[in-house]
Chains A and B, each alone.
Chain A
Amino acid sequence: MISAIKEIKTRYLILIILGVWAVLAIIFKGVATLELATYQNTFVTQTANDAAASIRGNRTQSAAFIYFFNPIRGFISGFVELIRMLIAIPAPNSIIPVLGWLGVIGVVTFFVFLTSNFRTTILAVSLLFGCGLLGMWTDSMDTIAMTLAAVILSLSIGIPLGIWAGLSDRVLKVLTPFLDLAQILPTLVYLAPLALFFLIGTASATIATMVYSIPLSIRITSHAIRSLNNSPIEASISMGATGKQTLTKVQLPMGKQMIVLGINQTVMAALSFVVIAALIGSPGLGGPIINALTIRNVGDGFVAGLAVVFIAIMLDRSTSAAAKTKQTFVPPSKKEIQQRRMSLAGMGIFAIVCIWLSRNVLWAAIWPKQLDVSEIVASNTNTVTDWTTDNLRFITVSFKDFISNYVLNSIQALLAGSPWFITITMIALIAYLLGGRKVALLAIGLMLLIVACGLWYETMVTLTQTLVATMLTMILGVILGVWIGRSQKAYKILRPFLDAGQTLPAFVYLVPILGLFGPSRFTAIVTGIVYSIPVVVKIVGEGIKGVSTTMIEAATAAGSNAWQLITKVQLPAAKRSLLLATNQGLIFVLAVVVIGGFVGSGGLGYLVIVGGSKPELQGKGLVAGFSILLLGVMIDRIAHASARKYGN
């Protein structure tokens, strides 16, 4: 009861703060906003620039490079090249890879069948064939090879560490801050620093991908070990098993299924990152997408994006089928095993024939030109895009303008348009009301650090977009989440979209969104919404579903209608889920809003991207990345603290 009163009081206090802030923002409009032109440097960005230049100059001399960075780069790029030679780039003394396209299809057929079933195999092969039809065979193979290389390296680190963290509380405690940080770190942030140390190229791209996917695999593996039914483990210990015996004979066999699920997640994370890592020299489908975004050719971008979608579905289906095949611990009967062996042998022979053909016959080695429909797809997409932009202009533009003029501009006027010290004070006050004294002090510290970095204005622009996108995400997400939480049918309808949104790299849907809304802040916001809505909907949906049936029955028996049930019972009871969803939504949105720098959203993302292409602004790009990190930590901590305070 007391906390409820406190909550209402907090709500009014925040409104009062916003009111005061608005008045101050009008009075001091444009004063002390610390706005900086793109080409201008501050002391910190200049220092970063000099540091970057000196790192670039020392690559051949400094011991750190000769004995640490360069060998790692050599090893990883060597490994990556090896895998690429299998399917993507010419093998030594050859003009084609080890496997021509038909050979790849044969091998994929065999392996997907090995890990799943016939239907999934057909799906996977058709999707792969689709990549060829889109004229993207080689780029697709490069993307797959890069993903594969990164996944192998990630798992070889992530699974052992995950097992260790699963067994030892101390190890988990040491790793947790890194895992948390990796989760809130927007992808764009660590591309530039990695490129600085490992050069632009496959090594940097692979390492960046690993940074992104290893935490995921550690998390899931350790969870797989920790979530096991304890009584077989206790029984094993009670019988005098050593730790190693219990691990290999009990824990790993029992946790296998979830560890495989972790592999699926790692693969999907790696794929989505490999596409973005084109920014630092990852070969494959990311390149054509970036080009298309830069010259705003929606058609070309769409073709490459579609190929990414195909690969994503193929990898997801074939690896998740592997995780799902074993619902039970009882193995199949002898007869089933026999049948299975026969069909595997058949697939094996098919694969060998395909491989042989692909190494000896030209049409099976190099994707035939006749089977390339990319131009038709691209031009049709452009026609459709032009038609929609022309004819839906009324809707899209007016919606965009409404949000931009009324919502974005007014919030930006508060955050970025008023003097920096006023903004800091107001944010700190709100942080205090939401999360308490400690988090308010932390927020002040982080914001002062951002001011010191010199990119205050840009940070506030990014914060504005993040907040607006999160607000829209939450409105939409709660509506959809309540829907799927209340209806199994709705869940079935929405699930494929949610899954797709969660597995697709954000780059991919940036293309059609750009087509609809043109280059603007709004495009970045919509992309952020598309990226974050699946997770928000899922969390809210689960929260609503988790509300106890008794409570709902009691409310229904008391004569509540559906609206009363939702607003007075289900949403309040699912408050924790709502808070968690907001937290996740904020972090997801931030990660993607900065990518909007590509399509004219400005802010820190733009500086990161410009920094990547202009050496004289490299330092500024690095500092912008750091500011994104500071902003992310601040948002995350405030959200966390308020969830703790109001979650019960």
Chain B
Amino acid sequence: MNSHNSSSAISVRNLWKVFGDNPEKIVNSSDADLSRSELREKTGNTAAVKNVSFDVAPGEVFVVMGLSGSGKSTLVRCLTRLIEPTAGSVLFNGEDVLKADPARLRELRRTAFSMVFQHFGLLPHRKVIDNIAYSLEINGVKKIERHKRAQEVIELVGLQGYSEAYPEQLSGGMQQRVGLARALAVDPQVMFLDEPFSALDPLIRRDMQTEVIRLHKEVGKTMIFITHDLSEAMKLGDRIAIMRDGAVVQMGTAEDLIGKPADTYVADFMRDISKSHVLTLRYLARPARPGEATDGPELDSSTIIRDASQVISQQMKPVRVSENGKAIGIVSSEDILKLISGDAN
């Protein structure tokens, strides 16, 4: 994983963030393998991000998932250098963000990146419209122009009628819509979302997740999404990286993680997930056993198992699973029952 992938929107290689004195001494040393408390005991340092590498394709939603203290929030801040990384490289369209001088970094932040925060980070003394227009304002865009653009994104995120309100007059969900609108206002190429919905009520959270999926379909931004909520990760992420103690434990699609957990830590995580709600028929497809009927109805491999279960359980014969028009195997109602009963345990 040492060469960068040139077709990626964001390409991260060997990224490290160590807090404390002489942080560069910890990078790539054997001390980095110590547990958090052992390292602090020994050198007084904390390694928040350890040798992380990944690529995010243009238009992809890449989710970083981990429990609190796993380093995920530090990682996302390192990508735009809100926290200065200790070592490594972050390539954006082939340019190393970590080597950008302050002026270039500001320019990238103003035009190419934008961020949504867990606690919204709205300016309490400004109206919604001026909050959304803030990034354009610091970029020197004239008032009429920036208000026009702000109005556009207000409509995009469903905040019509609230442009003159102040943040404290809005509910948490509405405030985060302002946060989303603000991030979209500059028409960025990459959006970083740091646990954007963790502070919201479960019902609102679900709405907002749907909203993000809708926005992603409409504007097609590359997104790096941080969360501690596995079902949120599964729902939104094209690919998911699981972090623990500053390092990426496993990276892949939801099916990869459930189907082939890299270690017991990931497996433990996946236990509470309803597999049938996340996995597609691709996961269950298997070659027909001798004597099994192979002339059942056909379903696409990308169908979520839960959605397919109704159809399949009504069939006397196993269904055929096809991908891009090619048959890849069959799934019987027993297979589905087995999976669902596994969920229940």
Contact = CB atoms under 8 A, between A and B. Distances in A.
Judge: A and B partners, yes or no: yes
Interface of A: 229, 231-242, 245, 249-250, 253-254, 328-330
B99 interface: no
Contacts of B117: 231, 234-235
A232 B182 CA distance: 12
Contacts of B118: 231
Range, interface on chain B:
20 to 34
B16 interface: no
Contacts of B61: none
Give 9 nearest A-B pairs by CB, closest first: A235-B121, A240-B109, A240-B110, A231-B121, A239-B135, A240-B106, A329-B124, A238-B115, A231-B119
Contacts of B120: 231
Contact of A238 (B114, B166, B167): B114
Nearest to B179: A235
Q: Which of A231, A245, A328 has the most CB of B within 10 A?
A: A231
A254 B135 contact: no
A239 B109 CA distance: 5
5 contacts: A232-B121, A238-B114, A239-B110, A245-B138, A330-B166
A254 B115 CA distance: 21
A598 to B, nearest CB: 49
B80 interface: yes
A238 B82 contact: yes
A232 B121 CA distance: 4
Nearest to A328: B168
B7 to A, nearest CB: 26
B42 interface: no
Nearest to B186: A239
Contacts of B186: 239
Given A239-B114, A329-B166, A330-B169, A232 B123 contact: yes
B138 A232 contact: no
Nearest to A242: B106
A296 B226 CA distance: 74
B134 A236 contact: yes
B138 A241 contact: yes
B302 interface: no
A330 B120 CA distance: 18
A217 to B, nearest CB: 22
B237 to A, nearest CB: 22
Contacts of A241: 106, 138
B125 A239 contact: no
A253 to B, nearest CB: 4
A256 to B, nearest CB: 8
Interface of B: 80, 82, 105-111, 113-115, 117-125, 134-135, 137-139, 166-169, 182, 186, 192
B168 to A, nearest CB: 6
Given A232-B121, A329-B124, A239 B82 contact: no
Q: Could you tell me the dominant secondary structure of chain A's interface residues?
A: helix
Contacts of A239: 109-110, 114-115, 134-135, 138, 182, 186
Query: B82, B122, B134 — which one has the most chain A CB atoms within 10 A of its CB?
Result: B134
Nearest to B113: A238
Contacts of B107: 240
Nearest to B112: A240
Contacts of A328: 166, 168
Contact of A240 (B122, B135, B168, B169): B135
Contacts of A236: 121, 123, 134, 138
A235 B137 CA distance: 14
A330 B127 CA distance: 9
Contacts of B115: 235, 238-239
Contacts of B119: 229, 231
A237 B135 CA distance: 10
Contacts of A329: 124-125, 166-168
A167 B135 CA distance: 22
A236 to B, nearest CB: 7
A253 B131 CA distance: 14
Given A245-B138, A328-B168, A330-B166, A238 B109 contact: yes
B168 A330 contact: yes
Given A239-B110, A239-B114, A234 B121 contact: yes
A636 B120 CA distance: 43
B125 A254 contact: yes
Given A238-B113, A249-B134, A254-B124, 15 more contacts: A231-B117, A231-B118, A232-B124, A235-B121, A239-B114, A239-B134, A239-B138, A240-B108, A240-B111, A241-B138, A249-B123, A253-B125, A254-B123, A329-B168, A330-B166
Contacts of A238: 80, 82, 109, 113-115, 192
A232 to B, nearest CB: 5
A337 B249 CA distance: 59
A293 B47 CA distance: 66
Nearest to A253: B125
Contacts of B80: 238
